[in-house]
Amino acid sequence: MKRRDVIKKVSLLPLAGVLPLQAVIAAPPAAGSPVVNSAGEKVDLFSELGVTPIINALVTMTFLSGSLMLPEVLEAINTTSHDFANMYELQDKAGARIAEMLHAEAAMVTSGAACALTIGTAACITGNDQQKIRQLPNLPGPQKEVIMQKSHRYLFDQAVRNTGVKIVDVEGAGEMEKAINENTVMALYFNAADSSSITHEDFVAVARRHNIPAFIDAAADVPPVENLFKFQKIGFDLVTFSGGKMIRGPQSAGLLFGRKDLIEAAKLNHSPHECPIGRPMKVNKEEIFGMYAALKSYLQRDHKKDWQDWLDRIKFIGNYLSGIPTIVSETRIPKGPANAFPSMTVTWNQTKVKITPAEVVKQLLAGKPSIFAGGRDKLSIGVVLLQPEQVEIVAKRVKEILTPAIQ
Ligand SMILES: *Cc1c(COP(=O)(O)O)cnc(C)c1O
């Protein structure tokens, strides 16, 4: 969509006349409200398909469609959808800019962090050997091996095993050292694991000593924004982050960055090449532009202001609920590295307010609008994914559910 069309579309919205144009463009339409198409007709595909729009009052989750793309990402998608591009050129040029922005040697846009795990592993196995690229995941000879700490094994290691490798579990740097042999192709670090028996630095040092690429999965580990720069500095050869979590790019995009030879090999294992293991993990042109726009915007954001805004939202909801007897609202900041941002918990004396947090969660989800919160012993409310007008909606719905339970 051209800027002119954006403005035209905006002028069709009710209220546009009284709002400064910038505010209208910057804010996505209120959740659940119909959007006006270029013919001036109201469109609401949610209701056309009978799909329930959900307010996510928790954290980013893939099954809940990740994050909401920033307006500048939607603009990137719209403004690049009118022309074709050579996808090799686009991936190379977007990757080069992203690498510069992240102080990395090289970068590329993948279809999410899970794709980055698959094609990053493939890159470590094949290099630029076309025959091996075509043979994956069934290379002749002994099975290739990837080293992981026992406590780092997770569901996403299937994205690594998709390349045909077997994962070898180790505990401690000594075991890691001993486990490396001529079949070892890579060592993977899961940054948000509950515990680690090897520090980042030792992990990288052992891998280096044996000339094995070290890859770190930090998919959900911003904020803080500094994490985007941290791991290449420590010496990891490959790093991945999701695009569709707090960076607020397209849900089906992610970042893979690090050593230039490995990124080039990862590209050879990815679309638009037709044969390789990553061909079904295509990222479209608009998503590559969208991911670039999201990262640019994320790096320029006022992160202190965002943080303060989240704390203010928690305070607002806490104040809104404060009239309910025995209610206690608390700010919770998980130590991370995943989801390390303010959320809130709400508790009450269940003999005075006779309803369980689980029942509140159920009623929030079943209500109108449908609100996804969490918790069993305590009600958990996330605020970072709420659109501004949803903060009060969430507070109001929680109050409406708790009030009739007051004894
Ligand atoms: C979310 C996540 C992934 C998958 O990321 P996508 O971008 O959805 O593919 C991989 N690893 C970890 C640790 C994650 O949190």
- Domains defined along the chain, listed by start: 7-30+32-67+304-405 (3.90.1150.180), 71-300 (3.40.640.10)
Percent of the residues in the chain that have a pLDDT greater than 70, as a whole number: 92
Q: Which helix (H) or strand (E) holds 291?
A: helix 285-300
User: Has residue 399 got a pLDDT over 70?
Assistant: yes
Residue 136 burial by Cβ neighbours in a 10 Å radius (0-12, 13-18, 19+): buried
pLDDT of residue 261: 98
Q: Which helix (H) or strand (E) holds 217?
A: strand 214-217
- Secondary structure letter of residue 368 according to DSSP: S
Longest CA pairwise span in the chain (Å):
73
Q: Whose CA is nearest to atom 11 of ligand 1?
A: 219
Q: In what order do the strands lie in the sheet with 379-382?
A: 328-332, 343-347, 379-382
User: Has residue 52 got a pLDDT over 90?
Assistant: yes
Q: Whose CA is nearest to atom 13 of ligand 1?
A: 219
pLDDT of residue 30: 55
Atom of ligand 1 nearest to the CA of 218: 13
| pLDDT tens digit sequence for 197-255 | 999 999 999 999 999 999 999 999 999 999 999 999 999 999 999 999 999 999 999 99
pLDDT of residue 38: 75
Q: Which residue has the higher pLDDT, 35 or 187?
A: 187
The answer to whether 214 and 204 have CB atoms below 8 angstroms apart is yes
Q: Whose CA is nearest to atom 14 of ligand 1?
A: 219
DSSP letter string, 43-108: E-HHHHHTPPPEEE-S--BGGGTB-PPPHHHHHHHHHTTTS---HHHHHHHHHHHHHHHHT-SEEE
pLDDT of residue 29: 52
| pLDDT tens digit sequence for 309-351 | 999 999 999 999 999 999 999 999 999 899 999 999 999 999 9
Spatial CB neighbours of 157, under 8 Å, sequence gap ≥ 6 = 117, 148, 167, 188
Averaged pLDDT of the chain: 92
Which residues line the pocket of ligand 1, CB cutoff 6 A? 62, 112-114, 156, 192, 217, 219-220, 242, 244, 254
32 band by pLDDT with thresholds 50, 70 and 90: low
Q: Which of 67, 115, 156 to mutate to test the pocket of ligand 1 (most atoms within 8 A of CB)?
A: 156
pLDDT of residue 17: 31
Q: Which helix (H) or strand (E) holds 295?
A: helix 285-300
Q: Which residue has the higher pLDDT, 190 or 26?
A: 190
For 296, other C-beta atoms within 10 Å of its C-beta total 16
pLDDT of residue 33: 58
User: Has residue 20 got a pLDDT over 70?
Assistant: no
pTM: 0.90
d(C-alpha 15, C-alpha 34), whole Å: 14
Spatial CB neighbours of 278, under 8 Å, sequence gap ≥ 6 = 110, 115, 118, 119, 122, 266, 269, 270, 271
State mean pLDDT over 155-173. Answer: 98
d(C-alpha 222, C-alpha 291), whole Å: 15
d(C-alpha 342, C-alpha 323), whole Å: 23
